[in-house]
């Protein structure tokens, strides 16, 4: 007898499973149209690799993910691509998304398949590539690409591989019927995964309210190393964290993944898909889905092609539209309501409940919380739901986070038992959303601040560097002066002693001439900053300066006019700039004239 642990809390809602287990698994009839969403998995949406009007065969790849995480999508039957457009998809928000619309030709003609009889002769990577190419992502809910999940990081060796057949949500019996009728494929798929991961322990866990499934799987695992464990029926035993605790007594660390403690959970449907991908070479193009609820006359399970409109399945199960009040995809505890039955079956669709108003009645009006603590008694994560509610409602998010709001798995047990019918899970979703948004905004603000600070620092640095360069140039100029002086002295010394006097006189003369030139240059060069070293009037340079100044003035005046027309607030600034440029042009003209005059007087002074 395998040792089992218990998780804290939990509830026993009415199971409502018998309605859909009384009939055998049915194969849904081929629909006229199939709608294949491009994103049925976590990660990047797949990119279409076919064209509108193209004929495709059953199992042919119609979309693939080339960059990033994701898996391909395949045609579920043979037919023609009719459109690539937005269609309603099963999502809590009721949104539309990109889908490939396939018109079935009724021939259901397979493309060429490549089955493997002895996969153990392949490399593990080759088998993983097959799993990826078959478009397999987790079929339990989140839709994580299975090949990536089967490649845990090197330091996270999987010691325990769990196949989750708990199916603790009321109403849903898809896994139950799969285990009853496809037990050998379930076990074969698990053996492939076990061969890839080489865990020390392989367990198939099934809630003890499914004796037929337990018996079928027990028969199928004979001569294998796989354990079959019947676990006590208690919601949410099929929650990954809870199931791991039940089977191993270990807890997945907060914020971590099961691989952190050497455990991996896989879904029953995923195991079947892996088995078909390997042994039959078939991609994931169908799945088992429960259609139940009091609004259908023949509830049961269907093996339906991915892309089959839910409305077709509801028709086949005998939907009474008059009685229908609420369509829930998933179970009554964690499922979401559909806005339309036009959504297709996807890789993660496990159940649709067509509920009547009396079956899932609207909750009574919310009453004040009396802190009775029923919620804390049933919380499988050992949280304090009443405190989380209090802080979520009063938007004291810091305190809610402190009480581990983000460890909430939204199983709904607290709302289920709340005597004041408070929609607790909704409050937690609100708080989580607000906190995530605040964090995103905080991140944005932080980045903006960093950018601003970096810019300020850069401007400051540039200013300093400019100053440095200016000083450097001034120093270089001074050095050059010194050097020239020294050379002149050296030349004088080296020359004849009698020439010493005349050399000295020449030096003095030179210096005087320079000084004079400098004095004349001064008015023109005063706003040229560093160009004060010009010794002789240079007509060409001065003309250039004048032209530049005039050009600048013209631009400034143009800008000023424009600014005046638009009544911009920099008019004043521009006016000042124009006046300044006027002065500059005037001075440049004066200097030029003076220089010309000087030149005509002293033609040899070059």
Partner 1 sequence: MALVQQSSPHAHNARPTSRVMLWVIIATLPGLLAQTLFFGWGNLINVVWCVALALAAEAAFLKLRNKPVTFFLKDNTAAVTGLLLGLSLPQFAPWWVSGIAVISAIILAKQLYGGLGANPFNPAMVGYALVLISFPVAMTTNWAEAAGLANAPGLGETLGRIFSASQTSVDGWTMATPLDEYKHKVASHTATEILKHPTFGDMVARGWEWVNLAFLAGGLLLIGLRIITWHIPVAVLGGIAIMSLAFGNNPDMHAPVQLHLLAGGTMLGAFFIATDPVSAATSHQGKLIYGAGIGILIYVIRTWGNYPDAVAFSVLLMNFAVPFIDYYTPPRTYGHHKARRGVPGRNGG
Smallest gap from Cβ 382 to partner 1, in A, equals 5
- Please check whether residue 50 is in contact with residue 84, taking contact to mean a CB–CB distance below 8 angstroms: no
Tell me how far apart the alpha carbons of residues 230 and 211 are, in angstroms, rounded to a whole number: 9
Taking CB atoms within 8 Å and a gap of at least 24, the contacts of 525-530 are: 527/584, 527/587, 530/470, 530/473, 530/474
Smallest gap from Cβ 164 to partner 1, in A, equals 17
- Please check whether residue 316 is in contact with residue 28, taking contact to mean a CB–CB distance below 8 angstroms: yes
In the complex with partner 1, the residue whose CB is nearer, 131 or 354, is: 354
Taking CB atoms within 8 Å and a gap of at least 24, the contacts of 317-321 are: 317/291, 317/292, 317/354, 319/295, 319/354, 320/295, 320/296, 321/295
Smallest gap from Cβ 426 to partner 1, in A, equals 5
Smallest gap from Cβ 81 to partner 1, in A, equals 29
In the complex with partner 1, the residue whose CB is nearer, 366 or 450, is: 366
The order of strands in the sheet holding 73-74 is 47-48, 61-64, 73-74
CA-nearest of 393, 404, 402 to 371 is 393
Smallest gap from Cβ 386 to partner 1, in A, equals 7
In the complex with partner 1, the residue whose CB is nearer, 368 or 529, is: 368
In the complex with partner 1, the residue whose CB is nearer, 366 or 593, is: 366
Smallest gap from Cβ 411 to partner 1, in A, equals 8
In the complex with partner 1, the residue whose CB is nearer, 372 or 512, is: 372
In the complex with partner 1, the residue whose CB is nearer, 59 or 299, is: 299
Quote the tokens at residue 500: 């010493």
Helix (H, G, I), strand (E, B) or coil at 164: strand
In the complex with partner 1, the residue whose CB is nearer, 145 or 385, is: 385
In the complex with partner 1, the residue whose CB is nearer, 325 or 499, is: 325
Contacting residues for 429 by C-beta, under 8 A, at least 6 apart:
410
- Please check whether residue 283 is in contact with residue 110, taking contact to mean a CB–CB distance below 8 angstroms: no
Smallest gap from Cβ 342 to partner 1, in A, equals 10
In the complex with partner 1, the residue whose CB is nearer, 251 or 550, is: 251
Smallest gap from Cβ 207 to partner 1, in A, equals 17
Q: Which residues pair with 165 in a beta bridge?
A: 206
Tell me how far apart the alpha carbons of residues 254 and 440 are, in angstroms, rounded to a whole number: 21
Contacting residues for 471 by C-beta, under 8 A, at least 6 apart:
none
Phi, psi (deg, nearest 5) at residue 167: 40, 65
Smallest gap from Cβ 344 to partner 1, in A, equals 17
């Amino acid at each position: 007898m395998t040792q089992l642990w218990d998780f804290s809390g939990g509830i026993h809602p009415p199971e409502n499973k018998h309605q859909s287990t009384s009939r055998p698994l049915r194969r849904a009839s081929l629909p006229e149209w199939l709608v294949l969403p491009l994103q049925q998995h976590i990660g990047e949406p797949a990119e279409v690799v076919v064209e509108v009007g193209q004929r495709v065969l059953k199992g042919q790849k119609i979309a693939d993910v080339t960059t990033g995480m994701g898996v391909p999508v395949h045609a579920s039957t043979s037919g023609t691509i009719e459109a690539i457009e937005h269609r309603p998809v099963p999502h809590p928000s009721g949104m539309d998304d990109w889908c490939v619309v396939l018109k079935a030709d009724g021939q259901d003609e397979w493309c060429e398949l490549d089955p493997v009889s002895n996969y153990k002769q392949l490399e593990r990577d080759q088998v993983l590539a097959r799993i990826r190419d078959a478009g397999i992502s987790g079929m339990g809910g989140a839709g994580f690409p299975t090949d990536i999940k089967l490649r845990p990081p090197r330091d996270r060796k999987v010691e325990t591989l769990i196949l989750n057949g708990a199916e603790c949500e009321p109403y849903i019996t898809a896994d139950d019927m799969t285990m009853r009728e496809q037990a050998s494929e379930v076990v074969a798929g698990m053996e492939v995964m076990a061969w890839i991961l080489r865990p020390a322990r392989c367990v198939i866990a099934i809630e003890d309210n499914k004796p037929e499934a337990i018996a079928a799987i027990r028969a199928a695992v004979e001569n294998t190393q796989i354990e079959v464990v019947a676990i006590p029926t208690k919601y949410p035993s099929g929650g990954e964290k809870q199931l791991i605790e039940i089977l191993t007594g270990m807890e997945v660390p907060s914020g971590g993944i099961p691989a952190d403690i050497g455990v991996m959970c896989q879904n029953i449907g995923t195991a079947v898909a892996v088995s078909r991908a390997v042994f039959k070479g078939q991609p994931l193009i169908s799945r088992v889905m429960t259609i139940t609820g009091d609004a259908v006359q023949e509830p049961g399970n269907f093996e339906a092609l991915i892309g089959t409109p839910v409305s077709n399945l509801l028709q086949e199960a005998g939907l009474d539209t008059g009685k229908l009040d609420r369509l829930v995809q998933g179970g009554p505890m964690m499922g979401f309501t559909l806005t339309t039955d036009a959504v297709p079956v996807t890789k993660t669709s496990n159940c649709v409940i067509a509920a009547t108003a009396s079956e899932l009645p609207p909750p009574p009006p919310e009453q004040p919380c009396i802190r009775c603590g029923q919620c804390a008694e049933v919380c499988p994560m050992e949280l304090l739901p009443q405190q989380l509610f209090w802080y979520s409602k009063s938007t004291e998010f810091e305190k809610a986070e402190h009480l581990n709001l983000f460890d909430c798995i939204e199983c709904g047990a607290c709302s289920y038992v709340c005597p004041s019918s408070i929609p607790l899970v909704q409050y937690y979703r609100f708080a989580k959303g607000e906190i995530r948004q605040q964090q995103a905004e905080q991140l944005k603000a932080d980045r903006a601040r960093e950018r601003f600070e970096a810019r300020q620092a850069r401007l400051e640095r540039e200013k300093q560097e400019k100053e440095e360069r200016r000083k450097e140039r001034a120093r270089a100029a001074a050095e050059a002066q010194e050097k020239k002086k020294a050379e002149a002295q050296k030349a004088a010394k080296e020359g004849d002693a009698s020439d010493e006097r005349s050399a000295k006189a020449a030096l003095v003369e030179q210096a005087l001439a320079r000084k004079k030139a400098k004095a004349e240059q001064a008015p023109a060069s005063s706003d040229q900053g560093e160009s004060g070293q010009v010794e002789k009037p240079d007509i060409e340079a001065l003309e250039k300066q004048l032209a530049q100044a005039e050009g600048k003035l013209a631009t400034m005046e143009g800008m000023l006019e424009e600014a005046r027309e638009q009544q911009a607030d920099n008019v004043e600034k521009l006016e000042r700039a124009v006046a300044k440029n006027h002065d500059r042009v005037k001075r440049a003209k004066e200097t030029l004239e003076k220089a010309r005059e000087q030149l005509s007087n002293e033609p040899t002074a070059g």
